[in-house]
Amino acid sequence: MILAVTPNAALDITYEVDELVPHQSHRVTAVRQRAGGKGVNVASVLARMGHPVMATGLVGGAAGNEIRADLEARGVVARFVDGGGNSRRTVNVVSAVHGDATIFNEPGPELTGPGWQSLVAGLDSLLGEVAATVVVLSGSLPPGLPDDAYAELVDVGHAHEARVIVDADGAALRGALRSGPELVVPNRAELARATGAQDLAVATAALRELGARNVLVSCGADGLVLMPEEGSGWHARLPAPLSGNPTGAGDALVAALAAGLVGGSTWQQMARDAVTWSAAAVLQPIAGEIDPADVARLARQVLMEVR
């Protein structure tokens, strides 16, 4: 079992337009609304790929009710904690002409200490019930929390002998490292913000000095670089980038890594799967979706190089 934790869950709204042009009025060709936030998307992808998973995190208000209802309708097992306030929304504008997305993320309701402790206690209780072997901590922290809040959740996971993956940005990523999560998954920009270094090797070394162990860096169209504590590193990529909606690609990548940890995959196989799942997600119009047929087809195209 995998637990996917989203401290700042969202109601995702996707608008499809022909082309996004600043200062212009746009005709929306399609509108989609569904439960979102990075950990929720991770859980959605894992469920679609047939892996036992439960989504948890903080939700509240009318938007929180819609998040719960959407996941129930899609058959994604979820047990959220009421965080108070109204859960945030995100607006994702997808351009058909350019094959890219422009995203507007609300910050979410400010969280007090008792609200956060309810999530900590909820995660501890869930791990006692379901005996999950992997915990995924994904996305931004709600406003009002200290930068090292994720470290407390990492500690809870380790207390239950679960391995922990952290997908966070900047100070939230740095703060999580004091508890030594098994795997951290920044993209190039997030890695630079967390370390102040542009060079991949220098930045990875800086993360390790802060407590990181295994590091995977997502490099967009250039695939990913996986640098484990022990053994060879890997650069995995497709021969050419895919056009589509990249919004949920990183979450699908994290889902593949969680599945690999549960299944005992090698680092090489996990890097290959992460590229494949991420690329398959780009082909979907909304985040949190993936087609197993695309995964099978793209897996044959992945290029692997020892790093």
What residues are labeled active site?
251
Do the beta carbons of residue 185 and residue 216 sit within 8 Å? yes
Q: Cα–Cα distance between 78 and 65 in angstroms, integer?
A: 12
CB–CB of 224/216 below 8 Å? yes
Q: How far, in Å, CA of 259 to CA of 261, rounded? A: 6
Assigned token pair, 67: 């998040």
Separation between Cα atoms, residue 6 and residue 133, nearest integer Å: 17
- Strand 224-227 relative to strand 234-237, pairing: antiparallel
Through-space distance between the first and last CA atoms of the chain, rounded to whole angstroms:
31
Place of tokens 């002998």: 161
Rounded to 5°, angle at Cα 93 from 91 and 97: 175
Is residue 204 a contact partner of residue 228, using CB atoms and an 8 Å limit? no
| Count of beta carbons in the 10 Å neighbourhood of residue 24 | 8
Element (H, E) at 120: helix 113-130
| Residue 171 CB burial class (10 angstroms; 0-12, 13-18, ≥19) | middle
Q: What are phi and psi of 31, to 5 degrees?
A: -130, 130
Beta-sheet pairing, 88-95 with 100-105: antiparallel
Q: CA 3, CA 5: separation in Å to the nearest integer? A: 6
